[in-house]
Structure 1
Amino acid sequence: MPESKSLTTLDRRQRILLAAVCGLVFAESLVLTIVAPLLPITAREKGVSNFEVGILFGVAWLASALSGIVHGKLLSRITPKSMSIAGCVVTALAAVGIGLAGEFSRGRVEFLPSLLVLRIIQGSGFSAIAVAVQAILSAEMPEHGLGVQAAYQGSVALGFTLSPPIAGGLYAANGFWLPFIVMSVILVIILVIAVIPLRHLKGQVVQHKSGQYFPLLLQPRALLTVAHSLVIAAVFRFFEGFIPVHMHEQFGWGPAEVAWLFTVCAVVFLIFLPIWVKLNSALMGNVAVMSWCMYMSGFSLILLAPAPFIPVEYPWWITSLVCLVYIISYTGAIVTNVPDLNFIAGKTGYPDNYGTYGIVSASVNGALTSGFFSGPFIGGALTDHIGFAWTTVVFGLIQCVFGLLLIARLIVDRVLGHKDGTVGLTRQISKQLSKAGVESGVESSEMVYLEHNDHTQYNTGTSDDKGIENKAFDGSSDVKSPISCDPGKLTNNVPGSTTCDIPKSHVETENSGSATTESTAETSSDSGVDDTEHQNTAPMKQTADGSKSN
């Protein structure tokens, strides 16, 4: 497995970029969750029922999941920087609107519809930022996949943890509206600072073709990874929503004790993020970590209540330790999803560009937010019918089943020779081409093949300011589809490069017929046949006066 490098190996530009995008995610998390301690009280004063309050909380996650599908498709068309800016502005404006609606609306009729619309807008803004930031991290730091995911998830967790006490303090100072105004201003300030490093993203060009979901998500391994994201998110939201009630009924805990438990859980989450990054290599890769964490989480949930078939009553400190074990397992599971799906996308043949990373990040974030939305509803319905203890058993068994499926995937991958881990996509193609040219004595305008994982880079010729007029061919022997390469718009994102990325199988097809293609090319040239009809045409050289020759 290719080991994920430590964040200490990032260069100065990457460190600044990582700090900027993590700051955006942190501020966005603050703004999105600031309603948690404030909305129930204010909604009750406006005459809103508990069920309607639950809808106001959940609709933001539902909007985030649904809008993420669109954001993933649009990312390559409007660039990550533009999507990040739009998401921050929309979220900030929606937060200001929520504060003003809570302060000045008169009764349920005005309060509920306005809050519903604003929470939908807020969730959509959060999705735009999450998709853009995940894609930026994957594209800019491909060799640090697990480390940057740990930094991203740590920023989200820190925002979720600090939001309630900050909101409570500002609410006590000057009412419902002040926390939303202050948090929105903080988000805009961080956005202004972050725009500077976002201007220098590699490969950030407007593309006229979006990534495709179905070729990736129809892969069984990819589908299992996305389902894994949904399950861990749903179980986490169930745990977060119902453990306070359980601790109150079982041990008489009040809000203060529950707040302390959540604070300790957040600290443990942040501590174990880098630990799981280190353990990923020791445990043989992403799939092994995911399966291990699913079993840890499943058994901890079964022991949480505990299960009705376990005739033991716990003291409060054992239940608290079980909660910490669950948080540790959740920490390890959540950092592996995006790197693993990037790995699968690379093996499936997806190109190394923002179209691919937008699809990957939207798929994972959509699954996570769908779980955040559905977990409390499913858990609440089960708790009402079978009780909290049996509900934890159900969720625990579901996670154990997923752990078994992940082990089966790991075994199949080993049998088929697939290497588990984080994909290292082609960021050093030009250096490899230069090195190969020096070692083999091949000129830059000649054909060069370099094998890289499952793809081969195909050097098609020299370039100038007007672009590359030579054509590489991508397709089987039955389909011949020319691909024109333009400077600054290649898969390796190096302006002026002459490299196109084509599937390895196509190169093998060309090599197998190399004995006959040279004569075929000469014959077609003499007879006036267009050389684009032949897949294996020799590359063209462009001279200084603009003429072309073989």
Structure 2
Amino acid sequence: MVLEWLYGFRQWLREEHRSRKLILFIVFVALLLDNMLMTVVVPIIPNYLYQLDTPEAPPPNRSAPASFHSIVSLYDNSVKTSGTAASSPVTAVSTVTSPGPTAGPANASDCPTSTTGLVNENVKVGMLFASKATVQLLTNPFIGPLTNRIGYQIPIFAGFCIMFLSTIMFAFSSSYALLFVARSLQGVGSSCSSVAGMGMLASVYTDDEERGHAIGIALGGLAMGVLVGPPFGSVLYEFVGKTAPFLILAFLALFDGALQLFVLQPTKVEPESQKGTSLFTLMKDPYIIIAAGAICFGNMGIAMMEPTLPIWMMETMCARKWQLGVAFLPASISYLIGTNIFGTLAHRMGRWLCALIGMVLVGFSVICVPFARDIYGLILPNFGVGFAIGMVDSSMMPIMGYLVDLRHVSVYGSVYAIADVAFCMGFALGPSIGGSVAESIGFPWLMTIIGLVDVLFAPLCIFLRNPPGSEEKIAILMDSNCSMKTRTYSTQDPYQGHDPDLDEDYDEDYD
């Protein structure tokens, strides 16, 4: 019975190996696992490193409210707040073990009288968390041109292999050095998965509207990984131990790798049938730079909030530790909603307009954050931040592919390497700059500055309304998008030939 089921499943995979939906599912799962691994370590590593550094001390209490303190790094970097959690375990214990009606509105540990302890950065935890974004930033310029030469299948499968190795290392590493190597390896694997995955989607979904919808779904995997990762890691670390969450992620990664073997069949190097535009040439294109800038500055707002908002909440709201993490949940939930809604809607309203509105909304939402007086006052501004970033990302990612189609050669590895570099720069520069600026001029002024930067950058998106291109390119795109029947893939499509999923009637003309 089992053999018959396996045979039937294999036959189904063979029949569907050219299905665009299955390719989209593979990319979705790859981004989901990558971002779950990126965030699952946040509630685990500070506590684990403390136990490694102070084996003679009693282990810090890992109760649920204290563990939520580490969820503040929902996207990647929580250097300062994670450092506080790692360096103040006794405080966390006293907070949990000494409740009572006489404790007042909040505990002493939640109402600090000075900011000295709050801004004391834990260097080891900070370097560990930052290593992933740094390595990914350095790797992207090499992965993009590589996919142009050998296709997308081998790089995305290599990303799975590296990610699986990184996950196993996290599960069984018992020293800071090995954990650092595991985090750095994840940066390489993430670069392979994101650049090759986005490039593959752009090559398979040649219609601009369908491409935007597909990329919006894929970005939903990113958002879901960011949302699920911290509580997933916190609960399993609390009740099972450090190894369990990573072994579960490794098993899910094996599932994604098996799908890639059957569907993508990454065994042969794809010959370069058409030479792609060089990375340097794409970086000189002003329209691509505008799109990359929107991705960078749009995400920099939430990146700056990560290390600074929790400290400000403790200073002004006397916030409890679990509130520091919950405050970021509206942003993650709304990002997931925004990417799925505007993946399709942005094409109808104009991607440039969607990005422009998103940048303005990010700016005003960020400026409104310091006006909150309690955690409930943060719900609406943080929801607006996440929703607006979803608008920007779901608009700019498809525009990157469209600009290459319109102005360059339709080979997408390098342009999505630029997009990933912009994303990583936002999350690498944001926390590092935000912490020092907030300490110097205060959190409200920091939010005002980054909000104004987003608002002032927004009008540049108008240039993306009708970017110039050769008449030949425009005619090809118009003919492709107005086609009523079967369409051909781009030159980098790993599945040449007829695709039954493309036998659909399209009643709308390309606008």
Give the alignment's TM-score, normalised by structure 2: 0.72
Determine if the alignment matches structure 1 residue 182 to structure 2 residue 248. Answer: yes
Indicate if the aligned counterparts of 2:220 and 2:340 stay in contact, CA closer than 8 A: no
Determine if the alignment matches structure 1 residue 94 to structure 2 residue 166. Answer: yes
Measure the CA separation in 1 of the matches of 2:494 and 2:252.
33
Amino acid at match of 1:169: V
Residue in 2 aligned with 1:19?
25
Q: Deviations over 1:502-524 (max 9, x none)?
A: xxxxxxxxxxxxxxxxxxxxxxx
Closer, same or farther: CA 205–175 of 1 in aligned 2, 3 Å: same
Residue in 2 aligned with 1:339?
398
Amino acid at match of 1:369: C
Closer, same or farther: CA 269–289 of 1 in aligned 2, 3 Å: same
Determine if the alignment matches structure 1 residue 119 to structure 2 residue 191. Answer: no
Closer, same or farther: CA 253–405 of 1 in aligned 2, 3 Å: same
Indicate if the aligned counterparts of 2:308 and 2:438 stay in contact, CA closer than 8 A: no
Determine if the alignment matches structure 1 residue 291 to structure 2 residue 356. Answer: yes
Which of the pair is proportionally richer in helix? 2
Amino acid at match of 2:318: G
Residue in 2 aligned with 1:31?
37
Cα distance, 1:489 vs. partner? 10
Amino acid at match of 2:450: F
Q: 2:377 aligns with which of 318, 325, 331?
A: 318
Indicate if the aligned counterparts of 1:28 and 1:88 stay in contact, CA closer than 8 A: no
Cα distance, 1:320 vs. partner? 1.9
Structure 1 residues 465-544: aligned runs within 5 Å: none
Residue in 2 aligned with 1:227?
293
Structure 1 residues 200-211: aligned runs within 5 Å: 205-207=270-272, 211=277
Indicate if the aligned counterparts of 2:136 and 2:188 stay in contact, CA closer than 8 A: yes
Measure the CA separation in 1 of the matches of 2:478 and 2:269.
16
Residue in 2 aligned with 1:193?
259
Determine if the alignment matches structure 1 residue 45 to structure 2 residue 45. Answer: no
Residue in 1 aligned with 2:449?
394
Q: Deviations over 1:190-212 (max 9, x none)?
A: 221233222399x9823285641
Cα distance, 1:176 vs. partner? 2.0
Indicate if the aligned counterparts of 1:32 and 1:126 stay in contact, CA closer than 8 A: no
Cα distance, 1:229 vs. partner? 1.5
Structure 1 residues 301-316: aligned runs within 5 Å: 301-306=366-371, 314=373, 316=375
Indicate if the aligned counterparts of 1:32 and 1:123 stay in contact, CA closer than 8 A: no
Give the alignment's TM-score, normalised by structure 1: 0.67
Closer, same or farther: CA 134–494 of 1 in aligned 2, 3 Å: closer
Q: 2:407 aligns with which of 336, 345, 348?
A: 348
Amino acid at match of 2:166: A
Say which SS state the counterpart of residue 43 (structure 2) adopts: coil
Indicate if the aligned counterparts of 2:331 and 2:386 stay in contact, CA closer than 8 A: yes
Say which SS state the counterpart of residue 335 (structure 1) adopts: helix
Measure the CA separation in 1 of the matches of 2:391 and 2:475.
18
Measure the CA separation in 1 of the matches of 2:163 and 2:231.
20
Measure the CA separation in 2 of the matches of 1:152 and 1:489.
20
Cα distance, 1:188 vs. partner? 1.5
Q: Deviations over 1:77-136 (max 9, x none)?
A: 33312111111111111222233223xx3xxxxx2x333222211111111011111011
Structure 1 residues 150-169: aligned runs within 5 Å: 150-169=216-235
Measure the CA separation in 2 of the matches of 1:261 and 1:424.
48
Cα distance, 1:319 vs. partner? 2.8
Q: 2:128 aligns with which of 56, 59, 62?
A: 56
Residue in 1 aligned with 2:436?
381
**Gap regions ≥5 residues in structure 1:** 1-9, 106-110, 307-312, 436-451, 458-487, 498-550
Most deviating of 336-345 and 384-393? 336-345
Residue in 2 aligned with 1:310?
none
Cα distance, 1:55 vs. partner? 1.3
Amino acid at match of 2:356: S
Q: Deviations over 1:9-47 (max 9, x none)?
A: x99922222122211221222223221111111122333
Measure the CA separation in 2 of the matches of 1:243 and 1:225.
27
Q: 1:78 aligns with which of 128, 150, 156?
A: 150
Measure the CA separation in 2 of the matches of 1:279 and 1:237.
26
Say which SS state the counterpart of residue 41 (structure 2) adopts: coil
Measure the CA separation in 1 of the matches of 2:497 and 2:211.
27
Indicate if the aligned counterparts of 1:62 and 1:123 stay in contact, CA closer than 8 A: yes
Determine if the alignment matches structure 1 residue 66 to structure 2 residue 138. Answer: yes
Cα distance, 1:377 vs. partner? 0.4
Determine if the alignment matches structure 1 residue 253 to structure 2 residue 308. Answer: no
Cα distance, 1:225 vs. partner? 1.1
Measure the CA separation in 1 of the matches of 2:199 and 2:343.
19
Indicate if the aligned counterparts of 1:301 and 1:326 stay in contact, CA closer than 8 A: yes
Q: Deviations over 1:430-450 (max 9, x none)?
A: x99x99xxxxxxxxxxxxxxx
Measure the CA separation in 2 of the matches of 1:165 and 1:495.
42
Residue in 2 aligned with 1:133?
197
Which of the pair is proportionally richer in strand? 1
Cα distance, 1:397 vs. partner? 1.2
Cα distance, 1:269 vs. partner? 2.2
Closer, same or farther: CA 315–54 of 1 in aligned 2, 3 Å: closer
Indicate if the aligned counterparts of 1:142 and 1:425 stay in contact, CA closer than 8 A: no
Residue in 2 aligned with 1:360?
415
Measure the CA separation in 2 of the matches of 1:494 and 1:23.
20
**Gap regions ≥5 residues in structure 2:** 1-15, 54-85, 87-120, 499-511
Indicate if the aligned counterparts of 2:356 and 2:461 stay in contact, CA closer than 8 A: yes
Cα distance, 1:62 vs. partner? 1.1
Measure the CA separation in 2 of the matches of 1:495 and 1:242.
50
Indicate if the aligned counterparts of 1:286 and 1:340 stay in contact, CA closer than 8 A: yes
Residue in 1 aligned with 2:307?
241
Larger Rg computed on CA atoms: 1
Closer, same or farther: CA 426–18 of 1 in aligned 2, 3 Å: farther
Indicate if the aligned counterparts of 1:147 and 1:274 stay in contact, CA closer than 8 A: yes
Indicate if the aligned counterparts of 1:80 and 1:132 stay in contact, CA closer than 8 A: yes
Measure the CA separation in 2 of the matches of 1:94 and 1:132.
19
Measure the CA separation in 2 of the matches of 1:397 and 1:91.
38
Measure the CA separation in 2 of the matches of 1:340 and 1:153.
14
Closer, same or farther: CA 170–85 of 1 in aligned 2, 3 Å: same
Amino acid at match of 2:399: D
Cα distance, 1:230 vs. partner? 1.6
Indicate if the aligned counterparts of 2:302 and 2:385 stay in contact, CA closer than 8 A: no
Indicate if the aligned counterparts of 1:73 and 1:358 stay in contact, CA closer than 8 A: yes
Closer, same or farther: CA 243–182 of 1 in aligned 2, 3 Å: same
Measure the CA separation in 1 of the matches of 2:162 and 2:397.
25
Q: Deviations over 1:401-448 (max 9, x none)?
A: 2113223x257x48x7999xx99859969x99x99xxxxxxxxxxxxx
Say which SS state the counterpart of residue 412 (structure 2) adopts: helix
Measure the CA separation in 2 of the matches of 1:347 and 1:292.
24
